[in-house]
Amino acid sequence: MLPCLNKTLLGVDCYGCGGQRAAILLFQGNFKEAFLMYPAIYTLVIFAIFLIINIKYKFKGDFKVKIAFIFLNASVMIISYVFKMSQFYNLTN
């Protein structure tokens, strides 16, 4: 798998850390473990499916849906990152 440059250089997880492992777990059928590894995996998969469908079928308002998905994914990533880092720092202190 690709190494995280942020974690390699700075020693701190980034917002995407765990995404590759979560995707592999998802493809293996380990749905709970995939969510625990990277909570944004399901919103990202739904967004990717929407984008693939939107390539073939254009509809009015698709731009607003894309923006909503972007904000949803960013929110889930930020919330899960803050939660993960707060647990990490509580363990190290």
Q: Tens digit of pLDDT for each residue in 22-68?
A: 999 999 999 999 999 889 999 999 999 999 999 999 989 999 999 99
pTM score, two decimals?
Answer: 0.79
* Residue that the structure tokens 């899960």 belong to: 80
Tokens of 4: 């995280």
Residue 2 CA neighbour count, 13 Å, CB half: 8
Per-residue pLDDT band at 91 (split at 50, 70, 90):
low
The two three-digit tokens of residue 77, written as one number: 């990533």
DSSP string covering the chain: -PPPHHHHHHSS--TTTTHHHHHHHHHTT-HHHHHHH-TTHHHHHHHHHHHHHHHHS--TTHHHHHHHHHHHHHHHHHHHHHHHHHHHHHHH-
Q: What is the model's pLDDT at position 18?
A: 84
Output the pLDDT for position 73.
95
Give the whole-angstrom CA distance, residue 17 versus residue 72.
Answer: 18
